[in-house]
Amino acid sequence: MKKILVGMTLAAAACGGAAKDSVTLSARLAGAGGLPLPAASGGVQVASGIELTRARIAVRRLRVERRDAQSDFEISQGPLLLDAAGNALAGSLLQLVSSSVPAGTYDKLKVDIHAVTAAPAGAFDDLVARGASVLLEGTVDGQPFVFASALEAELEHEGTFELGSASNNITLNIDASSWFKAADGSRLDPRDTVSKTAIAANLRASFSAFEDDDEDGIDDRGHHDGGDDDGAHDGGDDRGHGGEDGGHGGGGDDGSGHH
Q: Tell which wins on pLDDT, 246 or 112.
A: 112
Neighbours of 115 (CB within 10 A): 21
Domain that residue 15 falls in: 3-245
Domain count, the chain: 1
Give residue-wise pLDDT tens across range 126-173.
999 999 999 999 999 999 999 999 999 898 988 888 887 666 889 999
Residue of 99, 73, 120, 95 lying closest to 26 (CA atoms): 95
DSSP string computed for 213-233: TT-SSS-TTS-TT-S-B--TT
Q: Tell which wins on pLDDT, 246 or 214.
A: 214
Reported pTM: 0.77
The angle subtended at Cα 195 by Cα 238 and Cα 127, nearest 5°, is 45
- The answer on pLDDT for 238 being more than 80 is no
- The answer on pLDDT for 236 being more than 80 is no
CA atoms of 64 and 48, how far apart (whole Å): 37
Residue 149 near residue 199, CB atoms below 8 Å: yes
What is the pLDDT at residue 67? 74
What is the pLDDT at residue 254? 39
Catalogue the long-range contacts made by 58-61 (C-beta closer than 8 Å, 24 or more residues apart).
58/82, 58/113, 58/114, 58/115, 58/116, 58/124, 58/127, 58/132, 58/133, 58/134, 59/96, 59/111, 59/112, 59/113, 60/112, 60/113, 60/114, 61/110, 61/111, 61/112
- The answer on pLDDT for 64 being more than 70 is yes
Residue 257 placed within a domain: no
φ, ψ for residue 114 (rounded to 5)? -145, 150
Give residue-wise pLDDT tens across range 170-185.
999 999 999 999 999 9
What is the pLDDT at residue 21? 65
Residue 54 placed within a domain: yes
Percent over 90 (pLDDT), the chain: 42
Residue 251 placed within a domain: no
Q: Tell which wins on pLDDT, 222 or 58.
A: 58
Mean pLDDT in residue range 41-61? 93
DSSP structural state of residue 185:
S
Residue 159 placed within a domain: yes
**In terms of residues, how long is the chain?**
259
What's the Cα-to-Cα distance from 46 to each of 36, 49, 116, 136, 240, rounded to whole Å? 10, 8, 25, 12, 23
At residue 116 the predicted structure's pLDDT band, cuts being 50, 70 and 90, is: confident
Residue 258 placed within a domain: no
What is the pLDDT at residue 192? 96
CA atoms of 213 and 12, how far apart (whole Å): 21
CA atoms of 233 and 191, how far apart (whole Å): 29
CA atoms of 164 and 22, how far apart (whole Å): 8
Residue 191 placed within a domain: yes
What is the pLDDT at residue 204? 94
Residue 259 placed within a domain: no
